[in-house]
Amino acid sequence: MNSYWHESVTSTEVERDSLNSDLDLDIAIVGAGYSGLWTAYYVKKLKPDARVAVIESNNVGFGASGRNGGWCSGFLPMTLSEIEKQHNRQAAIEMYSQSFATIDEIEKTLNSEKIDCDFHRGGTIHGATNAVQRSRVVEEVEELHSYGFSEDDSRLLTLEESRARINISGLFAASYTPHCATIHPKKLVLGLAKVVERMGVKIYENSRVTEINPRVIKLKNTKVRADVVVRATEGFTSLIKRHRRTLAPLYSYMVATEPLTKSQREEISWHNRETYHDARNMIIYVQITHDGRIAFGGRGAPYHFGSRVKPSYDNHDEIHQRIISSMHEVFPVTKDLEVTHRWGGPLGVPRDWQPSVNYDQRSGLASLGGYVGDGVAATNLAARTLAHLMVGDDHPLTTLPWVNHPSRKWEVEPLRYLGINGLLRLSNSMDKHEHDKGTVDKFRANILDRFI
């Protein structure tokens, strides 16, 4: 893997102990990504004396937290109407309001804890490059407004306005929301680790947990007893005993270019570092980095049979090539730029595409995750929520609709393999149809709606 984030971290990485003997704790957290580290942070804030440790199979930020697209976004994988259908209108509004407010909470915490991760709040542009995409962009803004959110939360831009922000090739329509910032993902996760260590949390690296049970977790030669055990393992969850079907690991891939020249930057505009995505079915996501490179990501890679996760899957020539072609299409100026970095990693995808925060006081089992590709900010909200659940202080966050939301398990193989890869192919073919014909393929859209 050749991740730009990994290469551009300037601070020296700390060597940490691995766990070689049994341990007794109040709270044991499995996984040193944002979920695990934010959980440790907020628990220690609420209960400074709690004995908390984080146990990580590789090293801090090894997972998606160290290699994502750096979108710190208040948007969630489930829409307002989906939440309303399962709960009620007020719950949907509360969930989104808290999610939007999370960007402020993160900014405030980065400042107070002096974590430098190139945080820049430029908002997001959601673009449309054909008529079908335009109707999706408009519907998204209308939906937010119909739940009482205002033009300050999301609004349509004129083409002149959007071109003045980012000059996208072939743009039909666009909307803007301020609820997104760009970050350097690896700097954030490493900075967070240092902060929690200062607060007295011990982080063990190169310590793989093989089994999670009520109040005890097992490693190869040791075990940890704790009042609460938190699973924060996201895209790697399928590797833990009895969790093969909890979250499907779907891969997302990225490339980064060399820095744009001054004249290329002028041509593209893009002075306020907004993030950019468009309304195709197979998601793409883009940011311009602190040092002026385009970091462009995309989903749609095939799912691996048996929910396997392997280092060799972190690169995928065909998907990287597809992402580069999309980048050339969106920003023709990038055809003249060298692609200097390519990487990827697994996302954690629940069967109903809905993240959750879970805590069972009786068994002491807790978990957070299933963010699909929207976890950078959501991990903070999930961790804050979990911290309040664990200390039992009846905080309003503990009634958010994702608390103890049950997602059913994925199907057994080969159904899971056939189903997920079928849906991925379907999304791709729908994009092609929408691009070529400018209409929705209703038959395929209905199938997709029923399964995602």
C-alpha Rg value of the chain to the nearest Å: 21
Least Å distance, CB 384 to ligand FAD, is 14
The beta-carbon contacts of 319-325 under 8 Å, at least 24 apart in sequence, are 319/251, 319/253, 319/344, 320/253, 320/255, 320/344, 322/298, 323/253, 323/254, 323/255, 323/284, 323/296, 323/297, 323/298, 324/255, 324/296
Is residue 32 near ligand FAD by the rule CB under 6 A?
A: yes
Least Å distance, CB 215 to ligand FAD, is 17
Q: Give the binding range for ligand FAD (CB under 6 A) out of 29-37, 119-127, 143-151, 263-271.
A: 29-37
d(CA 104, CA 174): 24
Among 191, 249, 297, 401, binds ligand FAD (CB under 6 A): 297
Give, in order, the Cα–Cα distances in Å from 354 to each of 73, 86, 368.
Answer: 16, 11, 11
Nearer to ligand FAD, 110 or 156 (CB): 110
Is residue 309 near ligand FAD by the rule CB under 6 A?
A: no
Is residue 344 near ligand FAD by the rule CB under 6 A?
A: yes
Least Å distance, CB 192 to ligand FAD, is 10
Sign of the four-CA dihedral 203, 204, 207, 212: negative
Task: Find out whether 348 and 369 touch, Cβ atoms under 8 Å.
Answer: yes
Nearer to ligand FAD, 132 or 327 (CB): 327
Q: What are the DSSP calls for 21-39, one per residue?
A: S-EEEEEEEE--SHHHHHH
Is residue 307 near ligand FAD by the rule CB under 6 A?
A: no
x/- map, 275-294, ligand FAD, by CB under 6 A? ----------x---------
Is residue 350 near ligand FAD by the rule CB under 6 A?
A: no
The neighbour count for residue 45, using CB atoms within 10 Å, is 13
Nearer to ligand FAD, 72 or 156 (CB): 72
d(CA 362, CA 228): 10
Q: What one-character DSSP code corresponds to residue 47?
A: -
Among 41, 63, 140, 174, binds ligand FAD (CB under 6 A): 63
Nearer to ligand FAD, 54 or 156 (CB): 54
Please give the residue ranges that form the binding site for ligand FAD (CB under 6 A). 30-36, 55-58, 62-65, 67-71, 73, 208-209, 232-236, 239-240, 252, 254, 285, 297, 344-345, 347, 369, 371, 373-376, 379
